[in-house]
Structures are given as structure tokens and as C-alpha cells.
Structure 1
Amino acid sequence: MTRRIWQTLLAALLLAFAAGAVALHPKDFRDAEEEARYRAIARELRCVMCQNQSLSDSPAGVADDMRQQVLVLIREGKSDAEIKAWFQARYGDFILYRPQVKPVTWALWFGPVLLLLAGAGVLVAIVRRQRATAPAQPPPDDSQEW
């Protein structure tokens, strides 16, 4: 049984290294400017498989394909906005870490603040209700000396 666990762990480790081997390396770029632009765009796009990682951080195979597409679009002369729009057209607003503020994305932008305000309102209401229903404390008895 223990041997099977070690074999599974070794296989998982090898797969992780193989996934990292497909990622782009500095030698894949024409110059430092192209690499810097590529890395900036990859940090602003979300992996469609991992969903909580940027394209630059994701080890998923689909992220490798997406990173290659970013490089292809850069080499085609597309602007950063055009590249983001290309991905947004295929994957929706969720692909962007900072989507545009529009009615469809209001929940993404304002939802957390509204939830925080609602929670604070509930907390204030609970505290006020407890104060109103709490029995009055008798005044301290000062007649006794120690």
C-alpha cells in the first residue's frame, strides 16, 4: 500500500515538472520589451481552469495554450487592449482580473462593499436591540465602607 502511494506522488511530481516545462522561457522572446509586455498581460488575465490564478501563475495545460496565444497576438502587433478584448470575446468578463465597470459587472465591483455595509448594519441592529432589552443595572451601594 505504501509503495502505491509513493508511486502516485512520484507520478504527480513528474506531471507538475512536465507542465512547467511547457511554459515560456526568456529565450522564447525577441527582446526584453516583448517579455515585459507579455508578463504584464499574463498577470492581468485569469486562467479559465484554475479561476483563482493569473495566467502567469497557473500550471494548467490550458494556461500554456493561452500564454502562447498572448505571445502570438503580441507578435501580430496587437495592442494590450486588443489582446484583452480578444480573450474577453472568447471567455467573457471573468477572464479579466480588473473587468470594466458596467451594469453586467456591478456585482463584481460593488458586491463586496454592499455585503460589508449590510453586515455592519446587522451588527449595529443586534447591539442596539441587546442594549434596549438588557435589564437596568442597580446603582452601586455606596453606604458600605471597607
Structure 2
Amino acid sequence: MKLLILDAGHCLSLALAREASRRADTELVIEQGLAVSPSQLQAIAPDAVLIPPLAHPLSMTLAEVKAHADAVDRCVDACQAQDVALVWCVSDQLYEEGFDSPIDEHVVPAPRDECLRRLVQTGDRIRAEY
């Protein structure tokens, strides 16, 4: 399996790179940023694109979170254009904010924070279109 991992410095990317180095059936292509075009996907020809979670979105500005969500939206468009699977990971903060109980990952989060709501909108789009 060939995987394209975006946001190379994220700890998830580093862990996947370590794991893939132990396997003969996995090839990783790791890119620095979140930008990927349909032509890049065609050239790389991954089986899936992985986007690590945004670390600590509650401590970021709305502009930073919006820029991340917009980049994910562009990745969705590129992946759909090339019929490539997309795996977008989200921060636990998306599920924790506004709740007194432990994370229930079967429930679509409904955070009070505007930054986190922007990430939920992107997730809603992915669920609706994939």
C-alpha cells in the first residue's frame, strides 16, 4: 500500500514512518504541508492520503484553525478528483470541549468553540461526500 502523509513534522507522521520502515508492504510519501493538487496525486499515485490532527486547536486562533480546515477542504477536492481515499484525523479536543463525560467517538462532536465548530463543518462535508 502506498500512503501519502501530509504535515511531515506531526508525531503521527513520524510514528507511521517508523512503522512503515519495518514493513515490506507499505510505501510512504511524506510531504511538509497540507497542500496537494490533483496533478500531484496523479504523479504520486497513493492508495490513500493521511492528514494528521491539528494539535491543540483550542489554543489556536480562529484564523489558524480556519486555514487548516480550508487546506483539508482543498485536499478533499483533490482526492475526489483522483478517486483517492482520504483519512483525516481530528484532535481529541474536538470531542472533549463542552462535555463532562469521556470521549464518545461514535457521536459527531458539537463543540461550543467557534474554532472547533469550523473543524466539525469540514468533517461533516467529508462524511457527506465520501
User: For this structure pair, what is the TM-score category when the shorter chain's length is used for normalisation?
Assistant: under 0.3
- Based on CA coordinates, which of the two structures has the bigger radius of gyration? 1
Q: When the two structures are superposed, what TM-score results if normalisation uses the length of structure 1?
A: 0.22
Question: Looking at both structures, which has the greater relative contact order when contacts are Cα pairs under 8 Å and sequence separation is at least 6?
Answer: 2
Structure with the higher fraction of residues in strand conformation: 2
Structure with the higher fraction of residues in helix conformation: 1
